[in-house]
Amino acid sequence: MSGPRFDVITLFPDQFPNLVEMGVVGRAFKKQLFELNCWNPRDFTEDPHRTVDDRPYGGGPGMVMLAEPLVRCLKAIRDARGDNAPVVFLTPHGPLLKQADIRGLSAQGQGAIFLCGRYEGIDQRFIDDYVEQTYCLGDFVLSGGELAVACFVDAWVRLLPDVLNHALSATQDSFESGLLDCPHYTRPEVFENKAVPDVLLSGNHAKIESWRFEQAKAYTRRYRPELLDQTDKSVKKA
């Protein structure tokens, strides 16, 4: 296995098999371009009930994931990996996850250890002492971290060499250049009285690239104008 290794700490490992069975990620998994392992903290408990949560100090609704099973689980992962891959936690407390963050982690080559939260939260002492990087998918709340981690892994895997059919596909995606992707068209040439833009039928690749760039800027200005502001600031700094 020469690709990255992903280890996921999760109380619901059955949520992950579908991720590696279908589509781009499924093909990459079958070609052994990356490794995915799920670790259940319940397997690292020491009581007959395999307890992984308890009531929060101070009262209030919900339960909190215990630190002790998580520490034992993480130690077993570290022993199995034999490296210093970062522990990543998807949480509302983290900065918004960006394409550049995933590219940066991907460039390190070793993968990551993902922590999936559940219930009301995780004992803060585990987060303080063992979590190294935090990210947030957006201003909304999920029932657990599994879906967020699946999104992270999907976005990461498609950046790996030999995953996509065309090597340039990932580099032309939205956010790669700081812009949204341009609009795309395919057959038929006319659909419901709307024709494909003439420039795309011209065969003039220079004009096509110029049109696509201008369309990408126009789409970004219309739908995500803050991205243009960020791009302008980056250019000025350079």
Which of 17, 92, 95, 161 is an active site residue?
92
Convert 49-76 into a string of H (helix), E (strand) and C (coil): CCCCEECCCCCCCCCEECHHHHHHHHHH
**Is 120 assigned a catalytic role?**
yes
Which of 41, 53, 123, 158 is an active site residue?
158
Which region holds residue 10: left if phi is over 0, alpha if psi is between -120 and 50, else beta? beta
Helices 146-157 and 23-30 pack at an angle, to 10 degrees, of 70
Which of 68, 173, 176, 181 is an active site residue?
173
**Is 158 assigned a catalytic role?**
yes
**Is 173 assigned a catalytic role?**
yes
**Is 50 assigned a catalytic role?**
no
Which of 120, 154, 176, 181 is an active site residue?
120
The residue type of 133 is: Q
Q: Angle at Cα 152 formed by Cα 97 and Cα 218, nearest 5°?
A: 55
Q: Return the CA Rg of the chain.
A: 22
Helices 205-223 and 225-237 pack at an angle, to 10 degrees, of 110
Residue with token string 């991205």 = 227
Q: Which two tokens stand for residue 80?
A: 């199995």
The residue type of 78 is: R
Which residues are catalytically annotated? 92, 120, 158, 173
